[in-house]
Amino acid sequence: MQFLTILGSTGSIGTSTLDVVSRHPDRYRVVALTANKQVDLLYRQCVEFKPVYAVLLDEAAALQLSAMLAQAGLKTQVLCGLDALEGVCTLPEVDTVMAAIVGAAGLRPTLAAAHAGKKILLANKETLVMAGNVFMDAVRASGSALLPIDSEHNAIFQALPHDYRGDMESSGVSRILLTASGGPFRKTSFEDLQRVTPDEACAHPNWSMGRKISVDSASMMNKGLEVIEAHWLFNVAAENIQVVVHPQSVIHSLVQYIDGSVIAQLGNPDMRTPIAYGLAYPERIASGVASLDLFKVARLDFAEPDFERFPCLALAYDALKAAGTAPAVLNAANEVAVAAFLNREISFLSIARVIESVLELLPVENVTCLEDVLEADASARRTAIQQVMRFSL
């Protein structure tokens, strides 16, 4: 029996995780569920899975959930705040933490899980983007097992040798090929990109995701963050990570070897596949995802990314090469810019303009501890808010 804490249980990754868990009640027990303030959905999850703890960041939401659970006669204890999030990641009875909180908010609890030596199913890419060296040092020091859940990184993990320890040369690996759907604007003219609405940006052709991640996919910042994530997960330099636009989203990523072989992982675009792989690794369990029908797919297309159309991807590569606090600044500026776009304060194309301005304005500092990351994050957010005003509609 595996005992789980699910960070971000009301998001798309969290709900998919619970779907997989529900199919294997003999293997998994939910100890804690967490959310920001989605009371109704978290309540329904508590009724079904009966966790020991439920954590909400919003105090009013926590009070509401507590009353609802008491009325239903459930014994789930409701906690509130960031310290509580960290607490349910370090409980001695918890074996595995699904880190599925979107954005910088997931950094501290995920790092706490690493320090506690938990098995971490990492779906929060910002943890590695912001604090890659700090997080990976914690994983190595505690002996924590780290399994990537992003479909692309999970595919790479499956395609690498089972004994891969971060040495490309000794493993015969020459390059990682990170696939990208290209999002909804792969062929949209620059003129039309200027008039893109939030709803259009959130209409991903293949995946069902939250609004922030959907906008990141549309701008290809999501892929840029994944490039940085891949660097830390697999110890691969930026020049050895190639983004490949693959609109069908059937090949989730590939690994190229020095003998000319290229090994790919294929499947229907459904996050339950990598989630099930992470939960059961090294075994495989049913995920609820239908097998891939190659005859229905019929064709697979590939193209190089257009860095002029998608400047966010180029900015991410630049931030990775700059190292230090640059990736944390990139991530923070992007979160502020995307929020402004979703609030119709800036245009879609201005997302990249805000990020580029912030990267130019803030110096790159060394990262030696979490406080360095948090200071860079806070500074970048303040600067990004100023730049949003500069580029406002």
Q: Please tell me whether residues 130 and 42 are part of one structural domain.
A: yes
Q: How far is CA 95 from CA 101, 124, 125, 219, in A?
A: 18, 18, 21, 36
Q: Please tell me whether residues 133 and 200 are part of one structural domain.
A: no
pLDDT of residue 6: 98
Q: Is 302 within a domain?
A: no
Beta strand residue intervals within the chain, DSSP E: 2-7, 28-35, 53-56, 77-80, 96-99, 119-122, 146-148, 173-180, 241-245, 251-257, 262-266
For residue 222, the number of C-alpha atoms closer than 13 Å in the C-beta half-sphere is 30
Q: Please tell me whether residues 143 and 169 are part of one structural domain.
A: no
Rounded to two decimals, the pTM is 0.91
Q: Is 309 within a domain?
A: no
Q: Please tell me whether residues 242 and 184 are part of one structural domain.
A: yes
Q: Is 181 within a domain?
A: yes
Contacts of 309 (CB under 8 A, 6+ apart): 185, 190, 193
Q: Is 14 within a domain?
A: yes
pLDDT of residue 205: 65
Q: Is 285 within a domain?
A: no
Block mean pLDDT (10 aa), the chain, length 393:
96 95 97 94 97 95 94 95 95 97 85 96 91 94 95 96 91 96 84 85 70 89 95 96 94 97 95 96 95 93 92 97 96 96 94 97 94 95 96 84
- Point out which residues pair with 6 in neighbouring strands: 33, 98
pLDDT of residue 207: 59
- 12: three-class secondary structure by DSSP: helix
- Chain centroid, CA 73 distance in Å: 35
If one counts the domains in the chain, the total is 3
Q: Is 126 within a domain?
A: yes
Q: How far is CA 376 from CA 232, 317, 329, in A?
A: 19, 18, 6
pLDDT of residue 190: 81
Using the Cα atoms of residue 296, residue 302, residue 303 and residue 305 in order, give the sign of their dihedral: positive
pLDDT of residue 125: 84
Q: Is 32 within a domain?
A: yes
Q: Please tell me whether residues 17 and 138 are part of one structural domain.
A: yes
Q: Please say whether the beta carbons of 101 and 123 come within 8 A.
A: no
Q: Which of 148, 177, 211 is the last residue of a domain?
A: 148
* Tokens describing residue 15: 């709900």
Q: Please tell me whether residues 112 and 174 are part of one structural domain.
A: no
Q: Which domain holds residue 231?
A: 155-268+290-297
Q: Please tell me whether residues 16 and 128 are part of one structural domain.
A: yes
- 138: three-class secondary structure by DSSP: helix
Domain CATH number, residue 336: 1.10.1740.10
